[in-house]
Amino acid sequence: MKSPITKIIQKIPPRMLGDLIIMGSGVVLALLIRYSLRGFESGDYIYSTQSWYATIKDQGFRAFSSNFSNYTPLYLYCLYVVSVVLPPIHSVFAIKLPSILADVICAWYVYRIVRLKYQGDSPLPFFSFMTVLFAPTVVLNSAFWGQADSLYTAALMACLYYLLIKRETYSMLAFGIAFALKLQAIFLIPLLAGLILKRVLSWKQTGFIPMVYIITMIPAWLAGRSLYKLITIYVAQVNTFDALTLNAPNLYTWIPPNMYKFFYPAGLIGAIGICFLFVVGVYKSRTKLTSPIITQLALASVMIMPYFLPKMHERYFYIGDVLSIVYGFYYPKYFFVPILIGLASFFAYQPFLFGREIIPLSFLALVLLSVIVMIVRHTIMILYSEGE
């Protein structure tokens, strides 16, 4: 008698089964790479996340009654789950596990987004999946550095996917999860604002965003943490450092650090002005916003925001690293865009992770500016003409 698993396998078409086996093998290899990097202890781990995880492991859920971390509860809940499910593993690996899992989820949604363009037997969606899993900055960010950028980026990829298939509720729930994980989810807001004005997205659906944020705060509030402290976490994060750039290869690498008091407010206003122009540009276009165009607008949005906003870390171009891969598959003749963006991020990681500057940040900022200009030009051509 055949087992249920055997019956399921036999119902899968041979070609699809082969693709699943190849994809599964790729995931295993990607996980092995990440496992080999598990022991590295970054400065962020030594001075921050190590103590956070120790507090959670020692105190259990009672830890959420105190302000032991400046991250939102949703991320800390992930660490709590790891501490309960896998208590024996070393803290440095435990902290990296949620992000490693998010890498796979992120790659899966990239696969689904690219699949919307290439139907049938095209191998390109499969290659996009693998490209994300093995992208240098994706591997370094989660498995080596132990950062949480893949968590909110995976949620943003889900947000974009559900936007493209017109599942607005799921899309805004996904964005709410991304926002509840990291403030950097706002990099996608110019796109969402443009889609609302174009009536592609209903403004009523955005109510799910604060709903998700508040729901994720409730367990920590019930544990005893101040509701005011919970609601203002992002305000506290923004006020942690007084620096125009925190190793981010953006506009502020060309401005002297001692000009902070002048260029911080000016930079905020300038970035808001540029985002306003972005939204107006989308609104005024008479071109139908197809999946490729929305994807392209998404990339422009997540690149423009960290480039013109002050107080950015080098990691904040991570969303652009991933979305540029989608862009490269949607527009193959722009294959060099994800390469340039990924390399700029890779070299921007070097000073913090390895204590060396191979390429000056000012030059990397120039590269990214050139890429952004190219993306914006391409976007304008499509929005205001019949085609490429």
Q: What percent of the chain has pLDDT over 90?
A: 87
Q: What b-and-e string marks burial along 160-198, b requiring 16 or more CB atoms within 10 Å of the CB?
A: bbbbbeeebebbbbbbbbbbbbbbbbbbbbbbbbbbbeb
Domains of the chain by residue range: 21-383
Alpha carbons 140 and 161: distance in angstroms, whole number: 25
Looking at the predicted structure, is the pLDDT value of residue 1 above 80?
no
State residue 55's pLDDT score.
96
Higher pLDDT, 163 or 120: 163
Region of poorest pLDDT, from 10-19, 133-142, 337-346? 10-19
State residue 81's pLDDT score.
97
Mean pLDDT of the chain, nearest integer = 93
Cα angle 328, 342, 238; round to 5: 115
> Which residues lie across from 247 on neighbouring strands?
313
State residue 233's pLDDT score.
92
Is there a contact between 220 and 191 (Cβ–Cβ < 8 Å)?
no
Average of pLDDT values for 124-136? 95
State residue 20's pLDDT score.
77
Looking at the predicted structure, is the pLDDT value of residue 360 above 50?
yes
Is there a contact between 271 and 248 (Cβ–Cβ < 8 Å)?
no
Average of pLDDT values for 18-47? 91
Residue 323: pLDDT band with limits 50, 70, 90: very high
Average of pLDDT values for 47-58? 95
State residue 8's pLDDT score.
54
Q: What is the pLDDT of residues 265-315, one digit of tens each?
A: 999 999 999 999 999 999 999 999 999 999 999 999 999 999 999 999 999
State residue 388's pLDDT score.
45
State residue 11's pLDDT score.
57
Q: What is the pLDDT of residues 230-278, one digit of tens each?
A: 999 998 888 888 899 999 999 999 999 999 999 999 999 999 999 999 9
One-letter-per-residue 3-state SS of the chain? CCCHHHHHHHHCCHHHHHHHHHHHHHHHHHHHHHHHCCCCCCHHHHHHHHHHHHHHHHHHHHHHHCCCCCCCHHHHHHHHHHHHHCCCCCHHHHHHHHHHHHHHHHHHHHHHHHHHHCCCCCCHHHHHHHHHHHCHHHHHHHHHCCCCHHHHHHHHHHHHHHHHCCCHHHHHHHHHHHHHHCHHHHHHHHHHHHHHHCCCCCHHHHHHHHHHHHHHHHHHHHHCCCHHHHHCHHHHHHCCCCCCEEECCCHHHHCCHHHHHHHHHHHHHHHHHHHHHHHHHHHHCCCCCCHHHHHHHHHHHHHHHHHHCCCEEHHHHHHHHHHHHHHHHHCHHHCHHHHHHHHHHHHHHHHHHHCCCCCCHHHHHHHHHHHHHHHHHHHHHHHCCCCC
Higher pLDDT, 21 or 246: 246
Residue 387: pLDDT band with limits 50, 70, 90: very low
Is there a contact between 106 and 157 (Cβ–Cβ < 8 Å)?
yes
Alpha carbons 157 and 167: distance in angstroms, whole number: 13
Looking at the predicted structure, is the pLDDT value of residue 71 above 50?
yes
CA 293 to chain centre: 19
Q: Return the structure tokens found at 354.
A: 């390895």
- The dihedral built from the CA positions of residue 201, 206, 207 and 208, taken in this order, carries a sign that is positive
Which of 349, 171, 152 lies closest to 248 in space, CA to CA?
349
